[in-house]
């Protein structure tokens, strides 16, 4: 009998098919077992009727426990009351393995318990929906960049020097040298942009952040486009196009998953270019009007970002932050050298920063000065300085954090559910 996937079931109405999956849930009465079966592509209810199957088959169905693996055969019939529109009139049940005492029951569990059982928790409808949206988000981002002239260039994970400040470096040994796990592929992508023009990397980044917040992971995934001859304006335009394309793709392709998550999609439907923009200085004024006093030069915390973003229904660019609070490589605004040509993109609904980007310094002498001001060792950056010695051009790029983007699109409380196996301040397992 034909093995089919639940996602394709509509094409098999009236036929007898085989499904290979797991028991998600079961209800029984004297004469009937209702098996809720999942196979990775969807859920379907199988009805086992005592009158229609052998006594052995009826008993096998009754012995199935939550998450037992099972192969069932049956006839596909349309049923408007069924969640997917179809159910299976079961003719045969073959248990593959009986799961005893599956630890995650339909009752409520605490987050720590669920996180300890992350390897099993992934099977729940909600986690299944998030994982699928994650795959779609990544595919949408890569698809957009691939079809807009950007070449994928992989950056190294083991690096000799810092990109995003020395306080969050994750140190490891590299034979008899010290090495750091990559915080960002940016510096390498700047080199690649001078070869290929428009490039991006997509990979994991590591930051030994001592912060235990709902936005921070120790290991997260980041997509980093970098483009030669792109200036600040070009950079912002690419960001709003990429983010809008990603959100619209998820809306188109993952409606069902968004509904499993009970996401209010009307909020996402508004995400289209152009995005509103305010400068850091304007943001300070807005915060002041709301009773938050900040000194010029202070960075914004999560509550500040939440407040600013809540005033708009689209993602908000905050641009031109004080240069001295930002990374060493950011190009100063020629009209006002104490601010950098940089931006943070703040997602609405309290999700905060999802992108950090900037135009990069292309002048050798200025970049050398900045390295000194940041107490960064010149030797480690000699290769990076070469990019300013040989055919230097203005260029820009940004990093978009995948998990924060997914948390926002899915409407999740915490980034820990957006990545299959989160690495957090107090969690390295499973
Ligand atoms: O703003 P960040 O630190 O920028 C950079 O790393 C630049 N070098 C990127 C570039 O220009 N190529 O980080 C970029 C984004 C943040 O906006 C956030 O979405 C995400 O990376 N991010 C984190 N996500 C989860 N957990 C963390 N600890 C994160 N740190 C940054
Ligand atoms: Mg940032």
- pLDDT tens column, 118-141: 999 999 999 999 999 999 999 999
CA-345 nearest atom, ligand 1: 17
Ligand 2 centroid from CA 211, angstroms? 14
Task: Please choose, from the candidates 21, 143, 106, 134, the residue with its C-alpha nearest in 3D space to the C-alpha of residue 421.
Answer: 134
Query: Is 406 a pocket residue for ligand 1 (Cβ < 6 Å)?
Result: no
Q: Measuring from atom 4 of ligand 1, which residue has the nearest CA?
A: 356
Please report, for residues 229, 232, 338, the alpha-carbon distance to residue 279 in angstroms, rounded to integers and kept in the order given.
Answer: 23, 13, 13
Confidence tier at 225 by pLDDT (50, 70, 90) = very high
Tens digits of residue pLDDT in 206-217: 999 888 889 999
pLDDT for the residue 1: 64
- State how far the Cα of 386 lies from the Cα of 364, in Å rounded to an integer: 9
Query: Is 184 a pocket residue for ligand 1 (Cβ < 6 Å)?
Result: yes
How many Cα atoms are found within 13 Å in the side-chain-facing hemisphere of 261? 26
Query: Is 88 a pocket residue for ligand 1 (Cβ < 6 Å)?
Result: no
Checking if the pLDDT of 163 tops 90, the result is: no
Cβ pair 190, 388 in contact under 8 A: no
Query: Is 207 a pocket residue for ligand 1 (Cβ < 6 Å)?
Result: yes
Ligand nearest to the CA of 422: 1
**Burial state string for 330-355 with b = 16 or more CB within 10 A and e = fewer than 16:** bbbbeeeeebbbbbbbbbbeebbbbb
List of residues 6+ apart from 16 with CB closer than 8 A:
1, 73, 74, 75, 76, 91
pLDDT for the residue 188: 98
In this prediction the pTM is: 0.97
Q: Measuring from atom 11 of ligand 1, which residue has the nearest CA?
A: 398
- State how far the Cα of 230 lies from the Cα of 324, in Å rounded to an integer: 23
Kindly report whether the peptide bond that precedes residue 430 is cis, defined as omega within 30 degrees of 0. yes
For domain 2-97, which CATH number applies: 2.40.50.140, 3.20.20.70, 1.10.357.10, 2.40.10.340?
2.40.50.140
Query: Is 247 a pocket residue for ligand 1 (Cβ < 6 Å)?
Result: no
**CATH architecture of structural domain 118-418:** 2-Layer Sandwich (3.30)
Ligand nearest to the CA of 205: 1
Confidence tier at 16 by pLDDT (50, 70, 90) = very high
Domain with CATH 2.40.50.140 in the chain: 2-97
Domain with CATH 3.30.930.10 in the chain: 118-418
Cβ pair 33, 20 in contact under 8 A: no
Indicate the top mutation candidate among 399, 405, 424 to test ligand 1's pocket, ranked by most ligand atoms within 8 A of CB: 399
**Burial state string for 199-233 with b = 16 or more CB within 10 A and e = fewer than 16:** bbbbebbbbebeeeeebbbbbbbbbbbbbbebebe
Give the mean pLDDT of 5-10: 96
Confidence tier at 164 by pLDDT (50, 70, 90) = confident
Checking if the pLDDT of 406 tops 70, the result is: yes
pLDDT for the residue 231: 98
Cβ pair 215, 415 in contact under 8 A: yes
**Burial state string for 244-269 with b = 16 or more CB within 10 A and e = fewer than 16:** bbbbebbbeebeebbebbebeeeebe
pLDDT for the residue 123: 97
Query: Is 200 a pocket residue for ligand 1 (Cβ < 6 Å)?
Result: no
Tens digits of residue pLDDT in 20-72: 999 999 999 989 999 999 999 999 999 999 999 999 999 999 999 999 999 99
Classify strands 69-78 and 16-28 as parallel, antiparallel or unpaired: antiparallel
Phi, then psi, of 213 in degrees rounded to 5:
-125, 175
- State how far the Cα of 255 lies from the Cα of 276, in Å rounded to an integer: 26
List of residues 6+ apart from 152 with CB closer than 8 A:
142, 145, 146, 199, 200, 201, 202
Indicate the top mutation candidate among 182, 351, 356 to test ligand 1's pocket, ranked by most ligand atoms within 8 A of CB: 356
Ligand nearest to the CA of 404: 1
Checking if the pLDDT of 283 tops 90, the result is: yes
List of residues 6+ apart from 338 with CB closer than 8 A:
322, 323, 324, 332
Checking if the pLDDT of 144 tops 90, the result is: yes
Give the mean pLDDT of 3-20: 97
pLDDT for the residue 211: 82
Q: Measuring from atom 17 of ligand 1, which residue has the nearest CA?
A: 355
Ligand 1 centroid from CA 216, angstroms? 10
Cβ pair 348, 369 in contact under 8 A: no
Query: Is 349 a pocket residue for ligand 1 (Cβ < 6 Å)?
Result: no
Query: Is 419 a pocket residue for ligand 1 (Cβ < 6 Å)?
Result: no
**Burial state string for 41-56 with b = 16 or more CB within 10 A and e = fewer than 16:** bbbbbbbbebebbeee
Classify strands 352-360 and 395-401 as parallel, antiparallel or unpaired: antiparallel
Ligand 1 centroid from CA 342, angstroms? 13
Query: Is 397 a pocket residue for ligand 1 (Cβ < 6 Å)?
Result: yes
Confidence tier at 162 by pLDDT (50, 70, 90) = confident
Give the mean pLDDT of 403-428: 97
Mean pLDDT, rounded, of the chain: 96
- CA geometry: angle 86, 88, 92, nearest 5 deg: 165
More confident: 415 or 107: 415
Q: Measuring from atom 30 of ligand 1, which residue has the nearest CA?
A: 216
Q: End-to-end alpha-carbon separation of the chain, Å? A: 38
Query: Is 192 a pocket residue for ligand 1 (Cβ < 6 Å)?
Result: no
CA 88 centroid distance within chain? 35
Task: Indicate the angle between helix axes 186-196 and 382-389, nearest 10 degrees.
Answer: 30
Checking if the pLDDT of 82 tops 90, the result is: no
Helix (H, G, I), strand (E, B) or coil at 156: coil
Give the mean pLDDT of 411-421: 97
Task: Please choose, from the candidates 400, 391, 324, 393, the residue with its C-alpha nearest in 3D space to the C-alpha of residue 357.
Answer: 400
Ligand 2 centroid from CA 5, angstroms? 42
Biggest alpha carbon–alpha carbon distance for the chain? 86
Confidence tier at 106 by pLDDT (50, 70, 90) = confident
Checking if the pLDDT of 180 tops 90, the result is: yes
Q: Could you tell me where the DSSP H helices lie in 171-321?
A: 186-196, 232-253, 255-260, 265-269, 280-289, 302-310
């Amino acid at each position: 009998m034909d093995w089919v996937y639940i996602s394709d079931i509509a094409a098999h109405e009236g036929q007898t098919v085989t499904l290979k999956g797991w028991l998600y849930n079961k209800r029984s009465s004297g004469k009937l077992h209702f098996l809720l079966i999942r196979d990775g592509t969807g859920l379907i209810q199988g009805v086992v009727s005592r009158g229609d199957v052998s006594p052995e088959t009826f008993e096998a169905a009754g012995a199935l426990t939550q998450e037992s693996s099972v192969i069932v055969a049956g006839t596909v019939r349309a049923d408007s009351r069924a969640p997917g529109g179809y159910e299976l009139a079961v003719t045969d049940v073959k248990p593959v393995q009986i799961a005893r005492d599956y630890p995650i029951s339909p009752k409520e569990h605490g987050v720590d318990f669920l996180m300890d059982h992350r390897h099993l928790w992934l099977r729940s409808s909600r986690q299944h929906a998030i994982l699928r949206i994650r795959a779609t988000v990544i595919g949408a981002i890569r698809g957009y960049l691939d079809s807009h002239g950007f070449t994928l260039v992989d950056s190294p994970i083991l690096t000799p020097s810092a990109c995003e400040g020395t306080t969050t470096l994750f140190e490891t040994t590299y034979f008899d040298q010290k090495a750091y796990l990559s915080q960002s592929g940016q510096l390498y992508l700047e080199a690649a942009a001078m070869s290929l023009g428009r490039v991006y990397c997509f990979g994991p980044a590591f930051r030994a952040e001592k912060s235990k917040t709902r936005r921070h992971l120790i290991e997260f995934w980041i997509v980093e486009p970098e483009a030669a001859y792109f200036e600040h304006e070009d950079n912002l335009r690419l960001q709003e196009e990429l983010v809008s394309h990603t959100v619209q793709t998820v809306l188109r392709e993952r409606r069902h998953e968004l509904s499993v998550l009970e996401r209010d999609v009307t909020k996402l439907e508004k995400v289209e270019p152009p995005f509103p923009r305010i400068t850091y200085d304007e943001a300070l004024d807005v915060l002041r009007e709301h009773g938050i006093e900040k000194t010029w030069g202070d960075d914004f915390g999560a509550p500040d970002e939440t407040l600013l973003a809540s005033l708009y229904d689209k993602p908000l660019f905050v641009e031109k932050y004080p240069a001295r609070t930002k990374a060493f490589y950011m190009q100063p605004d020629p009209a006002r050298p104490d601010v950098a040509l940089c931006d943070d993109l703040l997602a609405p609904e309290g999700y905060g920063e999802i992108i950090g980007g900037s135009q990069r310094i292309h002048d050798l002498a200025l970049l050398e000065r900045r390295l000194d001001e940041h107490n960064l060792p010149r030797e480690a950056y000699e290769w990076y300085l070469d990019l300013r010695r040989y055919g230097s051009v203005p260029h820009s790029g940004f990093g978009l954090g995948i998990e924060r983007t997914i948390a926002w699109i899915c409407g999740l409380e915490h980034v820990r559910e957006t990545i299959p196996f989160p690495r957090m301040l107090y969690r390295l397992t499973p």
